[in-house]
Amino acid sequence: MEKNKAPQRGLQNRHIQLIAIAGTIGTGLFLGAGKTISMTGPSILFAYLVIGVAMFIFLRTIGEMLYQDPTQHSFLNFVTKYSGPRLGYFSQWSYWLVLVFVCISELTAIGTYIQFWLPHVPLWLIEIVALLLLFSLNTLNARFFGETEFWFAIIKVAAILGMILTALILLLNHFSYTTVLHGQHFNGSVSLSNITYHFQFFPKGVWNFIGALQMVMFAFTSMEFIGMTAAETSNPQQTLPKAINQIPIRILIFYVGALLSIMAIFDWHVLPADRSPFVMVFQLIGIKWAAALVNFVVLTSAASALNSSLFSATRNMYSLAQQHNKGRLGIFTTLSKNGIPLNSLYLVTALALFGPVLTLIPQIQNAFDFAASCTTNLFLVVYFIQLYTFYKYRKSQDFDPQGFLTPKAKYFVPLVFLIFMLIFISLFFSKDTLYPAVGAVVWTIFFGLFSYFKRI
């Protein structure tokens, strides 16, 4: 173990570009879409578009500051710079904690996908084995991480495009099928009428639509990683605008395109809510080899997300230990021979083991929904701080009116704040998300007070 060398950097530009593309495709889409479609029907497309636009504006606020000062690498550094060290301290530790929750939620998703093939193996056992495997991968050098993510990203992007193409082929050939669902025979066909038949904007009520926003938001969280990875390239002022401005077209292709495909293939009214619709639609219409293939793809997506989260949370822990190197935190500043913050990795992996624990708690009906809610809550808290920091930046002397400006910031940034606030409030009106929402408030109050009175 060494203390004086920096963590190894081995990411190349091709890694950055493809990881940025795949970064817009999350487990919230692959696994969470079943629940959101069952709650809102086709109007879920509107929810994805609205939150997608909000996230685009949010990323433009990050991009504007990173463009002006790409040496900062992370938007969290701007919080300290413009909103003060105490708020910076709070947001840095909160963001690290949210990355840990991302690890937990992705781990529960991996267990769900593997049970497709091993339905009799306990979920907690699958999760422990998967975590140990990805922990081992993260002990290797950073370049290996980049290569792993590069190929994970290729599989994920190809899968979405392949599924959309398959839906188009089935649609053009008027594919019909008979399946058994809930013990009854069900006849159907691939058609756009599956989307438009008896269309209602709020088929299960306004509150169900608002309640679905949490999972939609979870599908977009971590997208700020695109801006941070683009800032790591040799010419960030050229790469950053391109990476962020391509997000809207990616949302249309990957999110809206994929959801349209699912609902065109199968009647959304009877689609199971607790399974990945990407897998279920092919299983239900009788193309079982495609269901197995798609399950493998969504499994690699979750593994990719967990791999990235372990990597990011480990580096964040190392950075925090470097900044606040006092007492016991010093052990997290040591590096292995491969340049890996190994003690930080041990800590993050140990905390991720709460994933298997969640599956064993009978009061938690869906461990993935619970972990995803915790993730969304804390992400939103950090995002609120980022929007406040952007306001402070715009008032500072560093503001560059000729830079990569957020469009119509005067109007759109407050609107984004209101959308995020609506999502946060909605978490208190569902029993599945109530406790994580209360936990986020408790964390914000008590750790906020700790950060405020701490000597920094």
- 408-433 pLDDT, tens digit per residue, is 999 999 999 999 999 999 888 887 78
Under 8 Å between Cβ of 248 and 68: no
Q: CA torsion 399→404→410→414, rounded to 10°?
A: -100
Task: Using pLDDT thresholds of 50, 70 and 90, give the confidence band for residue 285.
Answer: confident
Q: Is the pLDDT of residue 20 over 60?
A: no
145 has pLDDT over 70 = no
Side-chain-side CA neighbours of residue 41 (13 Å): 17
Q: Residue 185: what pLDDT?
A: 76
Residues of the domain holding 228: 13-453
Considering 25-29, 165-169, 273-277, 390-394, the range whose residues carry the highest mean pLDDT is 390-394
- CA 226/CA 251 separation, integer angstroms: 14
The 3-state DSSP class for residue 336 equals: coil
Q: Give residue for tokens 């064993």.
A: 360
Q: pLDDT-based confidence at 57, cuts 50/70/90?
A: very high
Residue 346 confidence (pLDDT): 93
Report d(CA 303, CA 300) in Å as an integer. Answer: 5
Q: What length is written for the chain?
A: 456
pTM (predicted TM-score): 0.85
Q: How many Å apart are CA 189 and CA 52, to the nearest integer?
A: 30
Domain presence at residue 146: yes
3-state secondary structure of 392: helix
Closest CA to 326 of 89, 53, 48, 117: 89
Residue 306 reports pLDDT greater than 90: no
Q: Where are the beta strands (DSSP E) in 107-211?
A: 176-181, 184-189
100 falls within a domain: yes
Question: Are 41 and 268 in contact, with CB atoms under 8 Å apart?
Answer: yes
CB–CB of 355/366 below 8 Å? no
| Average pLDDT of the chain to the nearest whole number | 82
Q: Which two tokens stand for residue 451?
A: 């950060």
Q: Which of 10-24, 34-48, 387-401 has the highest mean pLDDT?
A: 387-401
> Which of 18-29 are b and which e, b meaning 16 or more Cβ less than 10 Å from the residue's Cβ?
bbbbbbbbbbbb
How far apart (Å, rounded) are the C-alpha atoms in residues 430 and 4?
A: 49
206, burial (CB in 10 Å: exposed 0-12, middle 13-18, buried 19+) = exposed
Measuring CA to CA, which residue among 281, 358, 293, 364 is closest to residue 33? 281
Query: What sections of 192-338 are H helices per DSSP?
Result: 193-196, 206-220, 224-230, 236-245, 247-250, 257-265, 277-284, 288-323
Residue 357 lies in a domain: yes
Q: Any idea what the CATH number is for the domain that residue 422 is in?
A: 1.20.1740.10
CB half-sphere exposure, 27, CA atoms < 13 A: 31
Amino acid 380: pLDDT: 94
| Side chain identity, residue 282 | F
Arithmetic mean of pLDDT, 347-364: 88
C-beta of residue 240 within 8 angstroms of C-beta of residue 70: yes
| pLDDT value for 410 | 92
- Host H or E run for residue 77: helix 75-83
Q: Which of 96-110, 232-246, 375-389 has the lowest mean pLDDT?
A: 232-246
Tokens representing 126?
């699958």
More confident position, 6 or 238: 238
Specify if 1 maps to a domain.
no
The answer to whether position 5 is within a domain reads no
pLDDT (tens digit per residue) in 202-238? 888 888 888 888 888 888 877 777 666 655 556 777 7
Between 91 and 37, the higher pLDDT residue:
91
Yes or no: say if 365 and 432 are a contact pair by the CB < 8 Å rule: yes
Q: CA distances (Å), 69 to each of 66, 73, 262, 403, in order?
A: 5, 8, 42, 10
Look at residue 2 and tell me if it is in a domain: no
Closest by Cα among 406, 15, 30 to 244? 406
Q: Is residue 6 included in any domain, yes or no? A: no
H or E segment to which residue 186 belongs = strand 184-189
pLDDT at 8: 47
Domain count, the chain: 1
Residue 7 lies in a domain: no
**Which one, of 53, 99, 24, lies nearest residue 379 by Cα?**
99
What is the Cα–Cα distance from 178 to 180, expressed in whole angstroms? 7
Question: How high is the pLDDT of residue 35?
Answer: 79
Please calculate the CA angle 362-363-369 and round it to the nearest 5 degrees: 100
CA gap 62, 380 in Å, rounded: 15
Residue 112 has pLDDT above 90, yes or no: no
d(CA 64, CA 404) in angstroms, rounded, equals: 5
Name the strand (E) or helix (H) holding 294.
Answer: helix 288-323
Whether the predicted pLDDT of 31 surpasses 80: no
Q: Residue 136 pLDDT more than 90?
A: no
Q: Quote the CA–CA distance of 272 and 264 in Å, as a whole number.
A: 15
What pairs with residue 174 in β-bridges? none
Q: Quick one: which H or E segment has residue 181? A: strand 176-181
Token look-up 């715009």 returns 394
Residues 6+ apart with CB under 8 A from 67: 236, 237, 240, 241, 400, 403, 404
